[in-house]
Structure 1
Amino acid sequence: MYKLPRTLFALTAFALIGASASAASVRDDICTKGVFNAGVKYDSPPFGFVDENGDVGGFDVDLIKEIGKDLSAVCKKPIKVVLKQVTSSNRIEFVQNGTIDIAAATATATFGRMDTVDFSNTYFIDGQRLLVPAGSPIKTVRDLAGKRVGTAQGSTSEVNLKAAAPKANVISLQQYTDAFTALQQGRVDAVSTDSTILLGLKASAPDPTKFAIVGPFFSNEPYGMIMKQNDSKWRNFVNETLTRTADDGTYRKIFAKWFGPKTKYALPDPKRSEAIPPQFPVRR
């Protein structure tokens, strides 16, 4: 039988140990550190935003807190949830470089993005529309030729808009709130992104009646939480939390809190937009 040279054997063993160490799950790192760093948006009400008291809240934030609750249970010690601001353009980078453990930031799961990161199960479904001044002649995406349309840099909205309205002048800004400010100041003729984000922007205006969300959906936007690739232990844990919230009614309560009929973000047809996470068996 051929035997590996002693030096080669030692190097091989060292490489295997190193590979094992580098493969440690994000979930285990969180348990060790006692800190869960989560990326959320500060400019996308009602998913993630800063309220009048300076606190960060929203639909995505509440789901992150549920993950934090389950982490405390499995780690058998209190886990501190630290919210960090992300944008459409940096949320994937922040996950990849370890700045955050997860991004819950209105991120559409696409095959292109899955080449570099993994996504949780879909937890919300939306579609792209237009936000315009009330009375605007812009009614659908077909009316955008020659018009200035604001959106967020690095978003699927930016890509969808350029494909659906190739003759529009697409102006990509850092955040959706920047695009809405440009609309209020007359620097753009419309803002385009997912309908629920537009709903939040409109509701934030001093007089929401001065703006209208128009046109049919021209994209499909299934939201997933972004995580590092090839960490099934962490991804499965997050998916189990999403399923647990569906099983015990927590998801419906969070949905009603932000999108219910008595809220300022009320959806015209909640049944269409309520995307209960898939019902896989929960092991906890």
Structure 2
Amino acid sequence: MLPVIMAPLVALALTASSADVRPPVRHSPLGADRPADTASVVTRAEAEDCDPLRSLKPPARMPEPGGRMPSGTAMERIVERGRLIVGVDQNTYLFGYRNPTTGQLDGLDIDLVREISRALFGKPDRVQFKTVPSRRRIEVLERGEVDLVAHSMTITCERMEQVLFSSDYLDSGQRVLVPDASPAQTLADLAGQRVCTAEGTTSLTALRRARPKVRPVAVADWTDCLVRLQLGDVAAVSTTDNVLAGLRAQDPTTRITGPRFTYEPHGIAVAKGSPELVRFVNGVLARLHTSGGLRTLHERWLGGYGDFYPPAPRYLK
């Protein structure tokens, strides 16, 4: 278990981080006492007939793990190379973080990548993890530096113009983290105050659009936000509540407050030129849904923090 941040000036060194708008009305994480807002971070979705919740259908038959992959596909190239290269975070507790006890990467995203490796190679450890900051998640795919990005990434119509996404594997929404002593109950209570979030995220976009206005402070990694909050440099941190759950777990003198004011499904991202790889990843996720493996992973990493489990996957015709 990751050590807890108790002192107000100490932060964990984790080495640097719709068309169909469905409110997530299951259990509100961490004691939220109001229903989720139905707002979406994707304001153009209806106009563009875009549906972030639909992805490419898995293959009718998945290749055998460790066997021959279909000729000419990204999967064949990955297997011939001998390793899967994936862009991940190492700064988001519960999702992608460097375990200080083992020195290894851990979290929900990391475990999902290991399941994809298992489906390709028959082994979960044939992965080269490449840690990237949030702002470079799309860039590393476009430059061909990685095969996949598994980095707590919200599926949006804007991003779908640049990369392909798997089916939704986690549902969340943006909320606010404040010190226990703060009087703030919602984002509106922070009008005119400094609110920290990470560069290159939908959270920053949402803060810039917020009314009444707040003063967004953009940093490279989530632990930077936590340090600034502990130092009193910002009044709050705002991002998806799954990420906030990890920050609160590191510093229990904070609390997550207010309703969700966005709805954000999460997907694994793949370069535009590899639709067969998205189909393969969706086949892995579909198996995990059916077997209960995805539920097990959610319970392992997020069971104490709320219900972020996604609905059954939906596919394009």
Whether the 8 Å CA contact 2:164–2:275 is kept in 1: the answer is: no
CA distance in structure 1 between the partners assigned to 2:88 and 2:155 by the alignment: 16
- Could you tell me which of 94, 110, 123 is aligned with 2:140? 94
Alignment CA distance shift 1:253-1:145 (3 Å):
same
Q: Say which SS state the counterpart of residue 112 (structure 1) adopts.
A: helix
Q: Compared with structure 1, are the counterparts of its residues 167 and 81 closer, same or farther at alpha carbon in structure 2 (3 Å cutoff)?
A: same
The residue correspondences of 1:113-262 to structure 2 (distance < 5 A) are 113-165=159-211, 167-205=213-251, 208=252, 210-260=253-303
Name the counterpart of 1:16.
none
SS at match of 2:157: coil
1:28 aligned onto 2:76: yes
CA drift of 1:79 comes to 7.1
Judge conservation of contact 1:164–1:218 (CA < 8 Å) in 2.
Answer: no
Report deviation, 1:105.
Answer: 0.6
Deviation of residue 24 (structure 1)? 4.8
Give the share of equivalent positions with the same residue, in percent.
37
Cα distance in 1 for partners of 2:99, 2:281 equals 26
Q: Is the 8 A contact 1:39 1:103 kept in 2?
A: yes
Gap change, CA 1:78 and 1:51, over 3 Å in 2 = closer
Change (3 A) 1:277 1:230: farther
Pair 150,231 (structure 1): closer, same or farther in 2 beyond 3 Å: same
Whether the 8 Å CA contact 1:31–1:79 is kept in 2: the answer is no
Relative to total residues, which structure has the larger helix share, 1 or 2? 1
1:64 counterpart = 2:113: yes
Q: Does 1:38 align with 2:86?
A: yes
Query: What is the distance in 2 between the residues matched to 1:241 and 1:78?
Result: 13
Deviations 1:59-114 (A, max 9, x none): 010010000000014xxx99721111122101111111111110111111111111
Instruction: Output the CA distance in 2 between the equivalents of 1:143 and 1:276.
Output: 32
Determine the structure 1 residue equivalent to 2:96. Answer: 48
| 1:202 Cα deviation after fit | 1.1
Residue 243 (structure 1) shift: 0.4
Structure 2: give runs of 5+ residues left out of the alignment.
Answer: 1-70
SS in 2 for 1:68: helix
| 1:157 to partner: Cα distance | 0.4
| SS of structure 2 residue aligned to 1:89 | helix
Distance 1:28 1:180 in 2: 42
Q: Give the alignment's TM-score, normalised by structure 2.
A: 0.73
Identify the residue that residue 17 of structure 1 maps to in structure 2.
none
Alpha-carbon contact 1:123-1:277 (below 8 Å) kept: no
Amino acid aligned to 1:84: K
**How many Å apart are 1:183 and its aligned residue?**
0.4
Does the aligned pair in 2 maintain the 1:246–1:279 contact within 8 Å? no
Contact 1:46 1:200 in 2 (8 A): yes
What is the rounded CA distance, in whole Å, between the counterparts of 1:66 and 1:121 in structure 2?
Answer: 15
Report which of the two structures shows the higher radius of gyration computed on alpha carbons: 1
With normalisation by structure 1, the TM-score equals 0.82
Q: Does the 8 A contact of 1:126 with 1:194 survive in 2? A: yes
Question: C-alpha offsets along residues 112-134 of structure 1, whole Å, 9 cap, x if unaligned?
Answer: 11111111111110000000010
Please name the residue that 2:6 is paired with. none
Could you tell me which of 157, 162, 168 is aligned with 1:111?
157
Alpha carbons of structure 1 residues 78 and 125: separation in structure 2 relative to 1, 3 Å:
closer
Unaligned regions of 5+ residues in structure 1, if any? Answer: 1-22, 261-265
Task: Report the number of matched residues.
Answer: 244
Deviations along 1:4-29, one digit per CA (max 9) or x if unpaired, are xxxxxxxxxxxxxxxxxxx9532222
Q: Is the 8 A contact 1:146 1:167 kept in 2?
A: yes
Report the secondary structure of 1:227's partner residue: strand
Task: Write the distance in 2 (CA, Å) between the matches of 1:165 and 1:80.
Answer: 47
Displacement after TM superposition at 1:167 (Å)? 2.1
